[in-house]
């Protein structure tokens, strides 16, 4: 798996462990330039963590799909423990939000996942598993096994990297917005 995609998937899974959704009441207006054009990613949650880390002085990068990384040369070994602590602190508000997400927000996430599923089907991904009932989704939230439209299709998760970005831009992953109120 391509490294950026790998980080993006890992970030998505970490963020997808549950968090708070932005814009639950109405969709946000389309930006005149995408966050990716501005040097950030499609994941508002990852963008928030990236900005937190850079404000703290860390030389990190962010990929278009939300993967936050650094190379071994930019963080000296003796500072790695401090970097990990700062990273944990930057992720903490997002992780905390997942533990306190109201059921009404989880219901909104469920509806957004169904919309994403429909979008993926419209793009030709017809191998998506049937979604759980709303109650099953609520009961499994924010666990690591939470159903998502993207994880419900081997074709989506196994697509070539060249198609991955195109599909994510057309059918955004709701988990990428969690925790970014």
Q: What is the pLDDT along the chain (181 residues), one digit of tens a residue?
A: 333 333 333 333 333 333 333 333 333 333 333 445 556 888 888 999 999 999 999 999 998 888 898 876 778 889 999 999 999 999 999 888 888 889 999 999 999 999 999 999 999 988 888 999 999 999 988 777 788 999 888 888 778 887 888 998 899 888 777 766 4
What pLDDT sits at residue 64? 86
Query: What's the pTM value of the predicted model, to 2 decimals?
Result: 0.68
Distant-in-sequence contacts of 50-58, Cβ < 8 A, 24+ apart: 52/86, 52/89, 52/90, 53/86, 53/87, 53/90, 56/86, 56/90, 58/83, 58/86
Residue 1 CA: distances (Å) to CA of 28, 91, 93, 161: 32, 24, 29, 8
What pLDDT sits at residue 31? 36
What pLDDT sits at residue 15? 39
Specify the DSSP class assigned to residue 29. Answer: P
What pLDDT sits at residue 146? 82
Q: Are 48 and 179 in contact (CB under 8 A)?
A: yes
For residue 159 the two structure tokens come to: 């697509």
What pLDDT sits at residue 66? 87
């Amino acid at each position: 798996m391509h490294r950026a995609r790998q980080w993006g998937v890992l970030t998505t899974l970490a963020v997808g462990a549950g968090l708070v959704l932005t814009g639950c009441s109405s969709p946000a207006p389309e930006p005149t330039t995408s966050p990716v054009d501005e040097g950030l990613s499609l994941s508002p949650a990852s963008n928030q963590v990236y900005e937190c880390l850079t404000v703290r002085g860390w030389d990190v990068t962010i990929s278009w799909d939300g993967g936050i990384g650094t190379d071994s040369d930019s963080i000296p070994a003796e500072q790695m423990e401090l970097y990990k602590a700062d990273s944990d602190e930057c992720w903490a508000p997002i992780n905390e939000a997942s533990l306190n997400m109201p059921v009404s927000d989880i219901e909104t996430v469920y509806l957004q996942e169904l919309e994403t599923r429909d979008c993926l089907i419209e793009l030709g991904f017809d191998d998506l598993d049937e979604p759980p009932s709303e109650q099953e989704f609520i009961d499994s939230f924010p666990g690591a096994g939470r159903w998502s439209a993207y994880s419900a299709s081997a074709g989506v998760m196994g697509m070539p990297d060249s198609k991955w970005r195109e599909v994510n831009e057309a059918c955004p992953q709701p988990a990428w917005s969690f925790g970014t109120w």
